Chains A and B, each alone.
Chain A
Amino acid sequence: MAEYQTHDYDVLVIGAGGAGLRAAIEASANGARVGVVTKSLLGKAHTVMAEGGIAAALANVDERDNWKVHFADTMRGGQYLNNWRMAELHAKEAPQRVRELEGWGALFDRTKDGRILQRNFGGHRYPRLAHVGDRTGLEMIRTLQDHGIHTGMEVHMECTVLTLLNADGRIAGAFGYERERGRFQLFRAKAVVLATGGIGRAYKITSNSWEYTGDGHALAYAAGASLIDMEFVQFHPTGMVWPPGVRGILVTEGVRGEGGVLKNKEGQRFLFDDIPENYRAQTADNEEEGWRYTQGDKNARRPPELLTRDHVARCIVREVREGRGSPHGGVFLDIAWIKDRVPGGAAHIKKKLPSMYHQFKQLADIDITEEPMEVGPTTHYVMGGVRVDADTQMSDVPGLFAAGECAGGLHGANRLGGNSLSDLLVFGKRAGEHAALFAKGNGISSLNPDQIEATARCALEPFERTGENPYQVQHDLQELMQDLVGIVRREEEMERALGQLEELKQRARKVAVTGNREYNGGWHTALDLQNLLIISEIITRAAIERKESRGAQFRDDYPSKDEEMGRFTIAVRCTDSGEMRVTREPLRAMPAELQQVIAEMK
């Protein structure tokens, strides 16, 4: 019999980034007894790395902004595959969620008249991102953390969930272990909110931390929930490329928002050469107009550097492939040039982009106020996730909720920068509120002891065998996904990936770890690997099924958009017999008034 400690909650929140903390705060406010499980220390989750800002149509900088423009921008960016109801709620509620943060102590940068300042970002028609320099994520998580710790939630730091527990056709809790001593923990709960973030660790070049192993995606899948849009993995166009040790670390889109430009080795602003049809009317056709836009000229259109991330990333790949890249396989991002155009020169750049200045200075010996940065695409975000009801965030499994990056639907085929932090707030709150409501109407279920026993046994097996090093298998998986299911995809390569994933699964079943259960990195990697393998297969199968190029999915063998495919979202779920089933599900028809909004904003 496995030994474990037991904890009882009304609502268990798994993950303590922006979505998890916002959900926990809301569930507490609704009277629930709340437990939070986090793989890291509190306040260290990936939200901390978000730089650019929170998208919300506050209209503080440009009075023409409102929820309708934000809604239309989000849908256009997502290539209309978005769950329109989520996009609507998101655009309507984001301003209130941002103001609420101010009431909890957040200090955003200010406009001249003392309101929250907003900046330009890719795909947003007006300056819309509430921000604090380039450390907005830190401000957001610290505000939620410092507010949250006084709301009565219990936080289990450095604790990993291995499985969700079902009983009587609904969720009953979760089972996992704490890292410090490796002891098992049983959480009995009436409702569970997944807020585990993304899947970036499936790829070699990534801006994501070790935590991003698709836990929530894999847990929900195993519990019988459907995942949607998993083919859409966002490769952020600007990650560091040199030196090798820092490859993949994010360079905020805010650099381009402040006037930074992308150039190839010939010094050409290559993005002007390829402006997609549906953005042409909104995009500057000369460099001077683009510059004026970044400096707040309301009559100017945005520079092509601020087109959506999928497009910019693909253009960079093209430049590199065709031999016009920078020495280390990227392109140049130049902010130094604005020195002569703004008051304050170099000091202005340091004030607007302090972390970027330090990051390049410290890690690459580059002074961004003097020379250009070398940048290239890095795995950043997954648009896909657990399919949820737009209003409640409940998944197909009663009592199981999901919010933030691990939930799918809001962003469709491509996410706009800044829409993630607002997503966390809007849907974190909704998930917390509805999880608390669900908990009020349902008792604690009886648990299946066999499920707990089997999970514990399986988790300890790597200690009992001799075999391969888990780090090696993880490394090979990351290479495989990077090479065969990366930014440019082909059917034949992805079929090959499926075959190799099978082999990796066999190897993962035989990995062995040394040492004991106390804070053992090898053991944690061996366990996380199981989730990475499941979501890698899901991404690959969904990408094969979508036989077109749209948003973040670029198929070399189907280079154009297919109108027919635009009517479907791709769903993946586990059948009762344990098979992975991929289905095309028709999108729900958009109500006339929302269609009208989109037509008005063309």
Chain B
Amino acid sequence: MSTATFSIWRGSNGEGEFRPYTIEISPGMVVLDAVHRIQAEQAQDLAVRWNCKAGKCGSCSAEINGNPRLMCMTRLNSLPLDQPVTIEPMKAFPSIKDLVTDVSWNYHVKQTIREFKPRPPDAPDGTWRMAQEDIDRVQEFRKCIECYLCQDVCHVLREHKLHNQFVGPRFLVHTAALEMHPLDTGSRENDLLRDHGIGFCNITKCCTKVCPESIKITDNAIIPLKERVVDQHFDPLRKLFQIFRK
């Protein structure tokens, strides 16, 4: 059995320090296993959020050696173990305790996005018809596990703290999934521009890089949404048309 040392941020409400823990490690361990072993053997009050341990629920987001990752999907053999592995909470959200952050802001934001409104059913039995190729893109967006790692790395939120003006990549993906849903009849372009701050995104693609589901957030969701907003609001022909219609 070999050992490894983990430097874990301990503290609450933003105040704390890194503390070292050395444990025995075994083949195939992931960072979350190490945290659990530390919790069971050395620090039983260590706060960590997790659920499925299979990369499906998006609960165990943290920053491992400075990289935003899911703890359950980060294998120890992918990290240099000759030096301590640092584990700290996501930085774009307020700290609660140790590795746990307050992500409730995300739930409030989602509530502000207009919900799905389908067109009337296509068939008399109340069902719809959709071709697979017409839903492939939306299915990509719906793979999102809401781990909020994209929110964590977005500089608009992380550095500039514009949480009250910008919904962040997660909710642009969510909006894109609704806007590109073949059945949806809602319109969210005005909200995107006015309340959801789509203009703040300057397409640095940091979000795309950290997505554990490999969703092409910037290219497939945000840029097409920006184009829709531009078409709606800044297209001179459309403006003219709208004036005449009035």
Contacts and interface: CB of A to CB of B under 8 A. Distances in A.
Interface residues of B, number: 60
Contacts of B27: 243-245
B157 to A, nearest CB: 18
Interface in A338-388: 355, 358-359, 362-364
A249 B53 contact: yes
B47 interface: yes
Contact of B56 (A99, A135, A211, A513): A135
A518 B47 contact: yes
A211 B57 CA distance: 13
B44 A46 contact: no
Contacts, number: 169
A460 to B, nearest CB: 14
Contacts of B118: 103, 105
Contact of B44 (A102, A137, A146, A471): A471
Given A114-B131, A245-B33, A469-B44, A99 B126 contact: yes
Interface stretch (B100-108, B199-207, B231-239): B100-108
Interface string A231-265: 00000000000111110011000000000000000
Given A105-B118, A149-B110, A520 B47 contact: yes
B226 to A, nearest CB: 23
A40 B59 contact: yes
A521 B103 CA distance: 19
B3 to A, nearest CB: 16
B59 A41 contact: yes
A602 to B, nearest CB: 30
**Which of B47, B48, B184 lies at the interface centre, i.e. has the most chain A CB atoms within 10 A of its CB?**
B47
B181 A107 contact: yes
Interface in B181-196: 181, 183-184
B179 interface: no
A245 B138 contact: no
Interface string B1-45: 000000000001000000000000011111001000001110011
Nearest to A248: B53
B40 A475 contact: yes
B6 to A, nearest CB: 15
Interface stretch (B79-87, B142-150, B215-223): B142-150
A522 interface: yes
A130 to B, nearest CB: 12
Interface string A91-128: 00000000100111101011001111000000000000
Nearest to B73: A362
Contact of B127 (A49, A99, A132, A358): A99
A594 B135 CA distance: 40
A102 B55 contact: no
* The 8 nearest A-B residue pairs measured at CB: A243-B28, A515-B45, A522-B44, A114-B129, A105-B116, A519-B47, A471-B40, A245-B28
Given A147-B115, A180-B102, A243-B27, 14 more contacts: A44-B58, A49-B56, A146-B116, A149-B107, A210-B51, A243-B28, A244-B29, A363-B28, A363-B30, A475-B40, A515-B45, A520-B45, A521-B45, A522-B44
16 contacts: A41-B103, A42-B107, A44-B52, A48-B52, A103-B126, A114-B129, A116-B127, A157-B104, A209-B51, A243-B27, A244-B26, A244-B29, A245-B30, A355-B55, A471-B40, A522-B39
Interface of B: 12, 26-30, 33, 39-41, 44-59, 73, 75, 96-98, 100, 102-104, 107, 110-111, 115-116, 118, 121, 126-132, 135, 138-139, 142-143, 145-146, 178, 181, 183-184
